[in-house]
Chains A and B, each alone.
Chain A
Amino acid sequence: MVLYQIIMYWLAIGLYVISTVLYVISNDFHKSSLMRWATRFAVVGTVPHGIGIILRWIEAGHAPYTQLYEVSATNTWLSMAFYLFLQSRNKRLEPLGIIIVPVSFLFLAAGVMSSKEVLEIPPTFQTYWLFVHVLFAKLAYGATLIGAGLAAFYLLKLRFKSFILEKLPDSDVTDELSYKFMGVGFVFNTIMIVAGSIWAKSAWGSYWSWDPIETWSLIAWLIYGIYLHLRRTFGWRGQRAAWLALLTFGVMIFALFGIVLIYPSIHELYLNPKGKIN
């Protein structure tokens, strides 16, 4: 079963790589048709990617949300699906693929190369609150990735001229779209923290225990708060807001992926590279 998953994931990575190359070429040679092909390859890539996730789900007997192997596959699939859905609704967002697709295949490749051991899920993990918690963590990641991607585009647009950058909406609209996705990310992040807290209370008796991931999620949430406050109340727009959006994304990535590699945490099961439950 693991072999089929790996084949599917590498097939998806291959398709995403082709998609990225096409995005880059479409930018360099000013070819809109190539950009459409790039998006088509990305769409096709999500199929083996999704099959890999389903195979893992069947093999593990639980939703794939433990360890880097499962987390990276589901997070990247959701952010790809998020992006592809958005660009189908608003074609002006299509150039975002040049950031979203490579970030996704790099994360997926990092996951595929980590431990593939199936972990038994403790009974306390089998609750709806955990499902809500995990789902919204992934959605928050997806929304923030797109928000930060748009912020990066905004900054690039100020400094460079390129075909892809010109395809994007006006700077004002790009800036506002970035704010919109960061705002949606904040909503999802809030739901993620709340659901996690309620689950922790029902499972272990403490709604908050200053666990490293908990605290870093709170820090990311506070930085979101600073970003939104500065935008809303102090009229921060443009470059300053874009840099802050990138910082927020950086802290969020650290809270999601970096913490368990540094601190011992009750979230160890989620990304423990050795794949052991203590």
Chain B
Amino acid sequence: MRILASKKLALILIIALTIYSVWGMLEPQDKRFEVFSTPVFYLLVAIFFINTFSCTIKQIRILLKGNGINPQYSSREPFFKVVYTSELDDIYFGVTSFLAKNKYSLTIEEEKEKIILKAEKNKISKWSSVFFHVSLLLVIIGVLVSLLFKMDGIILLVEGQRLSEDHGSYVSITEGPLFREEGHTGKHIFMQKINLYYDKQNKIINEVEDVFTFGEEQFTMKASKPLNVKGFSIYHNKLGYAVDLKLVNTKNQQIQVITAPLYRGKFQNHNNYEGSFLLPGGYPVKAKLYPDVQNIMGQLNSKTNILKNPLLSIDIKSSVGKSVYTGNLAQGAQVKLEDYSLTFAGISKWSALRLVKEPGIPIIYSGFFISVFSVGMMFLFPVKTVYVQVTKTLTGVKVIVNGKASRFPAAFREELEIICSELNVELEAD
């Protein structure tokens, strides 16, 4: 069991995690997330957790035990040794008042004609290493809690659409193994309006504002300012356009209005919106919307992703894959199919909202803050200990000074030199 609290094991694990992470970065991007979700990685983290926990317990024990003075330290290889002719009490008073003036906290042990003082600065920093280890443990616990109880889903709402917050309403959802379906509220989300704001040149949609109701309450959420509502963190995830297609039968009666959400294309298509869907009668359709169309050498593309001059390009096939219609439609244009006519009636906007429940977050954040606090303590405020032994001898009062620092001993030696010379001046003056 001693191996679990071994510092060598800790070092091996940190090296192993580093090598694993480098190896993970050599994998292609689509596989990278999987690399950090493998049993091997979880096993490494688990052993690291046990090792950190065991080391922390060991450190706490040592710290709680070692509160007294180590009398051997002060007499071992003295840094400063002077015999004064004054009285023991005067020297003792001079030493204690000097150290107190220099903001050292004192622990005193008196023996017969011998006094040992332990003066410490930044005492709390003794615990910095323990705090740092605790912070690592908290981060790992927080991540574990999140993995087990997390819910993270994307719900897509066209302007004017209402959906209930249930498992089935999400277009994609990830739930931790211990997340319970009762965690969903079942309340309605109604997307009232989606407002768009543009950049200075009117070329890019720079900000999106979703106005929606969740249950009875109304919310206005900007993409840059996510909300925390009813136990969820809600983020604006994506924005797109949806085309409204009105279907009219041969007697000019409206059969149905289809609202088909289209998704922003990639690379040179990044201002266009694309999607596939089925029309009644089993007609598969591929659609591409150019919000701000331009024709360059016969090639259609959109100058911006802002609705200025929209054009819908559609490709309708029969259920057996035969081409029925391929062409471009301006708003209001109609296409005649076998059973009905289709009109490009309008364009609306949709927003994808990301709803996240992550109960581990407060634990992770506590870990983060403790880690920053503890590493700050560790390096900016190292523990400095000065040992002073005052002994009555036949020739006078002997003062021996020694010291150590938890970090940067060479710098502390210089500091100790100054302390000793100042102490000497003060004691000689007495």
Contacts and interface: CB of A to CB of B under 8 A. Distances in A.
Contact of B372 (A194, A218, A230): A194
A172 B414 CA distance: 12
A194 B365 CA distance: 8
B340 to A, nearest CB: 40
Determine the interface band of chain B, counting residues with CB < 8 A from chain A.
35 or more
Contacts of A191: 372
Interface stretch (B176-184, B242-250, B324-332, B374-382): B374-382
B44 to A, nearest CB: 12
Contacts of A23: none
Contacts of A126: 224
A141 B283 CA distance: 59
Residue among A176, A205, A207, A223 facing the most chain B CB atoms (10 A cut-off): A205
A222 B372 contact: no
Contact of B33 (A210, A212, A230, A277): A210
Given A205-B152, A210-B24, A215-B21, A124 B224 contact: yes
B17 A222 contact: yes
A257 interface: no
Nearest to A204: B235
Given A207-B361, A226-B11, A230-B11, A194 B368 contact: yes
Contacts of A184: 379-380
B25 interface: yes
Contacts of A204: 235
Contacts of A225: 14
Given A123-B206, A201-B361, A176 B408 contact: yes
A194 B237 CA distance: 23
Contacts of B222: 123
Given A126-B224, A180-B379, A194-B371, A120 B206 contact: yes
A179 interface: yes
Given A120-B206, A176-B409, A205-B152, A187 B235 contact: no
B7 A233 contact: yes
Contact of A187 (B206, B376, B409): B376
Contacts of B407: 179-180, 183, 232
A177 B412 CA distance: 12
B60 interface: no
B368 A173 contact: no
Interface string B178-210: 000000000000000000000110001011000
Contacts of A230: 11
B7 A187 contact: no
Instruction: Please report whether the interface of chain B is mostly helix, strand, loop or mixed according to DSSP.
Output: helix
B411 interface: yes
Interface string A199-226: 0011111010010100110110011011
Nearest to A220: B18
A135 interface: no
B199 A212 contact: no
Contacts of A229: 7, 10-11, 14
Given A123-B224, A124-B224, A223 B29 contact: no
A198 B233 contact: no
A212 B204 contact: no
B163 interface: no
A127 to B, nearest CB: 8
B410 A173 contact: yes
B32 interface: yes
A122 B222 CA distance: 12
A89 B225 CA distance: 43
Contacts of B206: 120, 122-123
Residue among A194, A198, A229 facing the most chain B CB atoms (10 A cut-off): A194
B279 to A, nearest CB: 33
A190 B18 contact: no
B379 A187 contact: yes
Instruction: Please report whether the interface of chain A is mostly helix, strand, loop or mixed according to DSSP.
Output: helix
Contacts of A172: 410
A170 B413 CA distance: 13
Contacts of A183: 378-379, 407
B7 A222 contact: no
Given A123-B207, A172-B410, A205-B233, A215 B25 contact: yes
A33 interface: no
A215 B24 contact: yes
Contacts of A223: 18
Contact of B375 (A122, A186, A210): A186
Contact of A205 (B15, B17, B354): B354
Interface in A231-254: 232-234
Interface string B203-229: 010110000000000000011101000
Given A120-B199, A122-B206, A202 B380 contact: no
B354 A190 contact: no
B368 A198 contact: yes
B394 interface: no
A4 interface: no
A190 to B, nearest CB: 5
Interface string B393-430: 00000000000000111110000000000000000000
B36 interface: yes
B22 interface: yes
Contacts of A57: none
Nearest to B25: A215
Interface string B1-19: 0000001001100110110
Contacts of A122: 206, 224
Interface of A: 120, 122-124, 126, 170, 172-173, 175-177, 179-180, 183-184, 186-187, 190-191, 194, 197-198, 201-205, 207, 210, 212, 215-216, 218-219, 222-223, 225-226, 229-230, 232-234, 263-264, 277-278
13 contacts: A122-B224, A123-B222, A123-B224, A172-B410, A187-B380, A191-B372, A202-B226, A203-B235, A205-B356, A207-B364, A229-B7, A229-B10, A233-B7
The 10 closest A-B pairs by CB, nearest first: A123-B224, A183-B379, A194-B368, A222-B18, A176-B410, A205-B235, A233-B7, A187-B375, A173-B410, A172-B410
Given A173-B411, A198-B368, 19 more contacts: A123-B206, A123-B224, A124-B223, A170-B410, A176-B408, A176-B409, A180-B379, A180-B408, A187-B375, A187-B376, A190-B372, A205-B152, A207-B361, A210-B36, A212-B25, A222-B21, A226-B15, A230-B11, A264-B29
